[in-house]
Amino acid sequence: MAPILLNCVGNDNKDYIKQHVQVKNPYLDTMEEDILYHFSLGTKTHNLPEMFGDIKFVCVGGSANRMKAFAQFMHQELKLSGNPEEIQDICAGTDRYCMYKVGPVLSISHGMGVPSISIMLHELIKLLHHAQCRDVVLFRLGTSGGVGLAPGTVVITAKAVDYSFLPQFEQVVLGKVITRSTELDEGVSNELLQCSSELNSFPTVIGNTMCTHDFYEGQGRLDGALCSFSHEEKLEYLSKAYEAGVRNIEMESTVFAAMCRVCGLKAAVICVALLNRFEGDQITASHDVLVEYQQRPQNLVSYFIKKRLGLNV
């Protein structure tokens, strides 16, 4: 069966930032209560507009520890009162994800891979909708394998592409393939690039990001428990990816871009390259170097947020 293409959010896209965050599910309006199970939150048990109504920036990343550290970092950057070491995990009632609120910023972990982040995104978008949030920008902060880039380079995603280098995400729904566009907001991407130029602290590029279903075979690694291809075939595939504009590889960007686009949310993906995949598969940099690399997307998004808020940067 031919896939069903859902390419955009319609002609009203230019007006979405003037509205509350939208969901694309008419059945939610008929529910007496919406339980956000994986967040341990609900519309009857929590006052979501009071708790989250002032959120303007949502930052998500794979690691729970990294997103807690980012929340503490943002607490300091925004010069908020209180001890950043004492910020509380809003999702402490579950062990699936962590969530921290610091002023207008929400920091959330999403685990690894499309299934994990997609569950989180469903409940996050519903949370923002129930909280009546307006004019929200979402960021995915992460690590990746670079394609023809030096380690430490930050990639701002132009388009999230699949294994065929197409800007689309395929979701099987009731046995049918639904195909959604994965184009991200060009304005936010350009604004981030300008912020990086002003920071002038690390190399940053805009390029396509390839999203795969796993870390090993799907990314053409030769060091997994299984390998059904040669070194030459790996390099040939990476060369085709590079020619298609791919500059890094990770495992969450397509569903992130697709879901944000369908719901009319401005979003960006910012990942640092930990290695150049043309030169190897294993991550061999020291712990201290990797920690500094992982802080680069955080520093860039922090600068963006402070600039948007009119704070001294």
Asked if residue 11 belongs to a domain, the reply is no
Query: What pLDDT, on the 0 to 100 scale, is given for residue 179?
Result: 97
Q: Which of 135, 156, 172 is at the close of a domain?
A: 135
Mean pLDDT of the chain: 93
Whether 117 and 81 share a structural domain? yes
Binding residues for phosphate: 96, 140-143
Looking at residue 4, what is its pLDDT? 42
Same domain, 108 and 158: no
Mean pLDDT (whole number) for 42-50: 97
Residues 6 or more apart whose Cβ sits within 8 Å of residue 300: 154, 192, 195, 196, 199, 204, 270
Annotated binding site: 96, 140-143, 219, 221
- pLDDT of residue 18 exceeding 80, the answer is no
- pLDDT mean over 36-65: 96
Q: Are residues 257 and 286 in the same domain?
A: yes
- Structural domains counted in the chain: 2
Residue 103 structure tokens: 């002023």
Q: CA-CA distance, 74 to 87, in Å (whole number)?
A: 11
Verify that 146 and 130 share a domain, yes or no: no
Q: Is residue 307 part of a domain?
A: no
Question: Residue 16: pLDDT band by 50, 70, 90 thresholds?
Answer: very low
Shared-domain flag, residues 117 and 148: no
Does one domain contain both 128 and 99?
Answer: yes
Contacts of 189 (CB under 8 A, 6+ apart): 156, 157, 158, 206, 268
pLDDT band at 19 (very low <50, low <70, confident <90, very high): low
Q: Are residues 127 and 203 in the same domain?
A: no
User: Is 35 strand, coil or helix?
Assistant: strand
Residue 57 domain-assigned (yes or no): yes
Pair 225, 284 in one domain: yes
Structural domain harbouring 115? 33-135
**What are the binding residues for substrate?**
219, 221
Q: In this structure, are 52 and 151 located in the same domain?
A: no
Over residues 189-199, the pLDDT tens digits come to: 999 999 999 99
Residue-wise pLDDT tens digits, 80-110: 999 999 999 999 999 899 999 999 999 999 9
Rounded CA separation 106/103 (Å): 8
User: Between 2 and 159, where is the model more confident?
Assistant: 159
Q: Per-residue pLDDT tens for 207-263? A: 999 999 999 999 999 999 999 999 999 999 999 999 999 999 999 999 999 999 999
Per residue in 137-176, pLDDT tens?
999 999 999 999 999 999 999 999 999 999 999 999 999 9
Residues 174 and 89 in one domain: no
Co-location of 267 and 244 in the same domain: yes
Q: Give the tokens for residue 25.
A: 């599910």
Is it the case that residue 6 has pLDDT exceeding 50?
A: no
CATH code of the domain containing 264: 3.40.50.1580
Question: Is residue 166 domain-shared with residue 283, that is, in the same domain?
Answer: yes
How high is the pLDDT of residue 12? Answer: 42
Compute φ and ψ for 9, nearest 5 degrees: -100, 5
